[in-house]
Amino acid sequence: MPKKPLIEEVNKHIYKNSISFHVPGHKNGHVYEGTTEFKNFLKNDLTELTNLDDLHHSEGVIAEAEAKLTNLYGSIQSFFLVGGSTVGNLTMILATLNRNRKVLVQRNCHKSVFNGLKLINAKPIFIAPEISEHLGVAGGLSLESVKAAIHQNPEAKVMILTYPNYYGEIYDIRKIIDFAHGKGIIVLVDEAHGAHFQLGNPFPTSALKYGADIVVQSAHKTLPAMTMGSWIHVNSSRVSIKKIKEYLEILQSSSPSYPIMMSLDGARSYLEEFTANDIKYTITEIKRFKTMLLKIEGLKLVETEDPLKLVIQVKGGCNGKIFQEVLETHGVFPEMSDQKNILFILPLLKSSMAYPFEEATNAIKQSIEKVSHLKNENRKVQLHENKSCTTLEISYSEMDSYKEEYISINKAMNKVSAETITPYPPGIPIIIRGEKITNTLIDLLNLCIENNIKIQGGKYLSNKQIAVLV
Amino acid sequence: MPKKPLIEEVNKHIYKNSISFHVPGHKNGHVYEGTTEFKNFLKNDLTELTNLDDLHHSEGVIAEAEAKLTNLYGSIQSFFLVGGSTVGNLTMILATLNRNRKVLVQRNCHKSVFNGLKLINAKPIFIAPEISEHLGVAGGLSLESVKAAIHQNPEAKVMILTYPNYYGEIYDIRKIIDFAHGKGIIVLVDEAHGAHFQLGNPFPTSALKYGADIVVQSAHKTLPAMTMGSWIHVNSSRVSIKKIKEYLEILQSSSPSYPIMMSLDGARSYLEEFTANDIKYTITEIKRFKTMLLKIEGLKLVETEDPLKLVIQVKGGCNGKIFQEVLETHGVFPEMSDQKNILFILPLLKSSMAYPFEEATNAIKQSIEKVSHLKNENRKVQLHENKSCTTLEISYSEMDSYKEEYISINKAMNKVSAETITPYPPGIPIIIRGEKITNTLIDLLNLCIENNIKIQGGKYLSNKQIAVLV
């Protein structure tokens, strides 16, 4: 079998230099006005031609490429996704949950999980995560909170977890999976940031290895796939592969992108051929980078369990957003920042590859000199949130028949929120659309406003207004 | 405002040659093993960086690019799609229909329309299309059949049409839209093959111009966008833009592909700057191609209303599939073929662009010499189908609780089919999953089997077996 079945077959087709009377309309790049790089690349943007198989009914080179993926991850069956982990999360929910059923959900999940719940009018039981010690951001669930939620909701037969968090922090997911399985609960894991965990030590262990029933990973986040390239692994016989295929066919384009699928074939091959020596090289390079960074005065590093994630902070207290702006003018683009942290996602390098860590270090050094005098003007506030499980006061299907109205937050007690409001950090929603507004929540919202904490959602919160369903 | 807002901003970013510590994992192509063309291109595969906007909350260059699209098509608001017209069709259905409602649907619609109906457990009223005269394939609806369906189902307030068909054939959709609007019915149009109709004469007129409420178009089919690049146009105030946005956010990746979005910006610009002279050039080139083809002995051309579509047939009767195979060995790749026709999708050329029509003509000439002696072994059968409106015997939500069983088709009367079975041509489903099997349908299925007609679905139909729901 070829090493990269899909890539090799597409390249064979390109080599023929054939005349296209088929879609796409750019005709192998002939009909295109733009940069030469873009135009030349378009030869790869093919369609379901002879020998190029069909993602939705794969039995040729795409089936071979997916078989290699299945084999590498040791799942029962793994599938290419061209619509990102968004499609993977929607699919795992729709394929395992019937309408109107209770489901246990980690409160700080990705919005695609909330969207999946909405599509099937699920009755979510939101379980609050721990706050991670080092970074003060949303972490994972504790076994205790999971046990309590299951005890209170014995009808729930599906649980949805996020692992690791954005910063590469993990938690003891194995115990949670084992406990859930003991209660007959299927465990779905959004492991978007963990596609490279398959490499094993010194990287964290994937939830696949711990027996999670379905795991979704973004191959484009830490592996060299193109954006929207992800995969879904079916990892237990408790899951119907027929249903997974059914929803993948519903949710994914009937004309899937060949470049994205090729990049998935390439990313799988990249991982498969990543040697112990390559791991050593990557880790050594990252250590070298960190050593250089540590010599920069005024810079603080925070490491997490995933070596590919690195958080940097300015000792003086400069807001991370401001530091990011300065860094970018010096040519270094981080993944994201909040009022304290800047997150770097580091490259997974083969030993033949150089990465410009010296240049990056110089740029960071120059940048920090410009911001080291700045203080963080945000007061440090610990948002002690309500840790009990919550559920929706108004179901997803009922919400559509309500109107939305802005009222003063101080008059919002016992009303139902029309907004999901999330302070960063820690990145855990204080309130989720459809939940009832309690006195404790009003206090938290006031605390956020008074302390100028960065909020997602809450359009008029700075005016002390909140949208409610009436 | 820049001519190509998104493309220009991405190019500015690329020009900076910055160091990536963000997703995607290929780091601007640094971490990639493959062809140089692919590697160089990956600089374009960016993410929501500073100044690059966010598709789901666009207020920068993506908003500008979409505003230009809206302006060009003269809609109320048009949106970029990165998940193909599949996502557009799902969105227009989910945003306009509540669960469990009746909806009028052209029977030969794309599978994404069936999938959308399933997601909201719609009660479809399938309206059979006419069979097109020249090609014998599924065409459009007659006003009479639409009137009858509306008369029988006055509760249905949404209608879903396909226009044009795959071969570029149109029908009098204006009268149907007007009649439906007179009855308060919203009209959704899957115009996947008509993104270039915006150019006007000599191309057919878009359903947008006739006032269809929502129109979905594949920019990648006839315009130079990348595969999965499509757009959805909201064209009337009867549609809630808020709901359209809501479902686009649910169904599309939270990390949409920048290359696909850039190619949409480029395709819009290409169309916008397509001059009367360019139209003349394209039409002249196509005529020149046809004139060359007409000189080939044994070849027959069939034109449709869309100049970009050309059907060729072998006069001797050679099966289109066999002719396609031979053509491909000579380096010419058509869009598709059936037992009689080969469909070419022709390029939309600017007057500066050459296309290898001579080489194609030579290849076609050489190919036809190899197949002109072959006869079509398929007998010519006219499948007179049941033209009345049909609906589902078992609703989508109930289907999941049934089992599937294969039984002899001759014992299938009054059972409910678990398969959708479509003969090509004409490409209209004889039976749709969930419909009741009548005696007339059994006769049709037998006719298909006896005459060896190409079938989609019907896994064991050649053994005279059909899957039913029990």
pLDDT tens track for B366-410: 999 999 888 776 656 666 666 678 999 999 999 989 999 999 999
By C-alpha distance, the chain B residue nearest A308 is: B21
Smallest CA-to-CA distance from A321 within A435, A409, A424 is with A424
pLDDT per residue over A216-257, tens digit each? 999 999 999 999 999 999 999 999 999 999 999 999 999 999
- Output the pLDDT for position A469: 96
As a whole number, mean pLDDT of residues B139-145 equals 95
Structure confidence at residue A379 as a pLDDT band (50, 70, 90)? low
- Output the pLDDT for position B379: 59
Which residues lie below 8 Å from residue A309, measured CB to CB, with a gap of 6+? A167, A168, A343, A344, A345, A346
Q: Which of A255, A263, A353 to mutate to test the interface with B (most CBs of B within 10 A)?
A: A255
What proportion of chain B, given as a percentage, has pLDDT over 70?
Answer: 98
Orientation of helix A143-152 relative to helix A173-182, angle to 10°:
20
Smallest CA-to-CA distance from A230 within A254, A214, A246 is with A214
Structure confidence at residue A386 as a pLDDT band (50, 70, 90)? low
DSSP letter assigned to residue B137: S
Report the DSSP pairing between strands A214-218 and A186-190: parallel
Instruction: Answer for the pair A424, A138: CB distance below 8 angstroms, yes or no.
Output: no
- Could you count the other beta carbons within 10 Å of the beta carbon of residue A112? 25
What proportion of chain A, given as a percentage, has pLDDT over 70?
Answer: 98
B chain contacts of residue A350, beta-carbon cutoff 8 Å: 31, 33
Give the span between the Cα atoms of B192 and B167, in whole angstroms. Answer: 12
Give the span between the Cα atoms of B282 and B300, in whole angstroms. Answer: 21
Decide if B251 and A251 are in contact by the 8 Å CB cutoff.
yes
- Output the pLDDT for position A170: 96
More confident residue, B71 or A372: B71
A chain contacts of residue B263, beta-carbon cutoff 8 Å: 26
Decide if A333 and B19 are in contact by the 8 Å CB cutoff.
yes
By C-alpha distance, the chain B residue nearest A117 is: B250
Instruction: Answer for the pair B208, B233: CB distance below 8 angstroms, yes or no.
Output: yes
Helix or strand run (H / E) with residue B270? helix B258-272
- Residue B335 gets the label, from left (phi > 0), alpha (psi -120 to 50) or beta, of alpha
How far is C-alpha A263 from the geometric centre of its chain's CA atoms? 18
Pick the most confident of A113-127, A373-387, A436-450, B416-430: A113-127
- Output the pLDDT for position A109: 95
Please name the residues between 411 and 470 in chain B that touch chain A, using a CB distance below 8 Å: none
User: What are the residues facing B299 on neighbouring strands?
Assistant: B314
Q: Does the beta carbon of A312 lie under 8 angstroms from any beta carbon of chain B?
A: no
- Residue B427 gets the label, from left (phi > 0), alpha (psi -120 to 50) or beta, of left
User: What are the residues facing A466 on neighbouring strands?
Assistant: A407
- Residue A27 gets the label, from left (phi > 0), alpha (psi -120 to 50) or beta, of left
Decide if A23 and B335 are in contact by the 8 Å CB cutoff.
yes
Looking at A286-300, A445-459, B175-189, which range is the least confident one? A445-459
Structure confidence at residue A1 as a pLDDT band (50, 70, 90)? confident
Which amino acid is it at B299? L
Integer angstrom CA distances of residue B339 from A331, B135, B343? 58, 11, 12
Please name the residues between 316 and 335 in chain A that touch chain B, using a CB distance below 8 Å: 325, 328, 331-335
Helix or strand run (H / E) with residue A422? strand A422-424
Instruction: Answer for the pair A150, A116: CB distance below 8 angstroms, yes or no.
Output: no
- Residue A433: what are its φ and ψ, rounded to 5°? -45, 125
Nearest to B254 among A35, A112, A250 (CB): A112
How far is C-alpha A177 from the geometric centre of its chain's CA atoms? 20
Which amino acid is it at B387? K
Residue A84 has, within 13 A of its CA and on its CB side, a CA count of 25
CB pairs under 8 A between A and B: 286
Nearest to B19 among A50, A332, A345 (CB): A332
Give the span between the Cα atoms of A250 and A244, in whole angstroms. Answer: 10
Give the span between the Cα atoms of B182 and A362, in whole angstroms. Answer: 69
Give the span between the Cα atoms of A128 and A432, in whole angstroms. Answer: 12
Rg (CA), chain A: 24
Tokens 């003969």 map to which residue? B423
Structure confidence at residue A167 as a pLDDT band (50, 70, 90)? very high
Give chain B's mean pLDDT. 95
Smallest CA-to-CA distance from B198 within B319, B84, B68 is with B68
Handedness of CA B397, B398, B401, B406 (dihedral sign): negative
Instruction: Answer for the pair A110, A162: CB distance below 8 angstroms, yes or no.
Output: yes
State how far residue B38 is from chain A, nearest Cα, in angstroms: 6
What proportion of chain A, given as a percentage, has pLDDT over 90?
Answer: 87
DSSP letter assigned to residue A106: E
- Could you count the other beta carbons within 10 Å of the beta carbon of residue B239? 19
User: B319 exposed, middle or buried (CB, 10 Å; 0-12, 13-18, 19+)?
Assistant: buried
Give the span between the Cα atoms of B98 and B114, in whole angstroms. Answer: 15
User: Is the pLDDT score of B158 beyond 80?
Assistant: yes
| Paired tokens of B423 | 């003969």
Decide if B19 and A47 are in contact by the 8 Å CB cutoff.
no
Answer yes or no: is the ipTM higher than 0.90. Answer: yes
| Paired tokens of A450 | 């008074």
Structure confidence at residue A36 as a pLDDT band (50, 70, 90)? very high
Give the span between the Cα atoms of A165 and A467, in whole angstroms. Answer: 29
Which amino acid is it at A411? K
pTM for this prediction: 0.97
Q: Which of B8, B15, B19 to mutate to test the interface with A (most CBs of A within 10 A)?
A: B19
Give the span between the Cα atoms of A36 and A206, in whole angstroms. Answer: 40
Structure confidence at residue A377 as a pLDDT band (50, 70, 90)? low
Give chain A's mean pLDDT. 95
Please name the residues between 123 and 162 in chain A that touch chain B, using a CB distance below 8 Å: none
Q: Write the DSSP string, B16-68.
A: HTPEEESSSTTTTTTS--S-HHHHHHGGG---S-TTS--GGG--SHHHHHHHH
Q: Which of B28, B325, B333 to mutate to test the interface with A (most CBs of A within 10 A)?
A: B333
Looking at A129-138, B205-214, B244-253, B275-284, which range is the least confident one? A129-138
Q: Which of B38, B249, B272, B349 to mutate to test the interface with A (most CBs of A within 10 A)?
A: B38
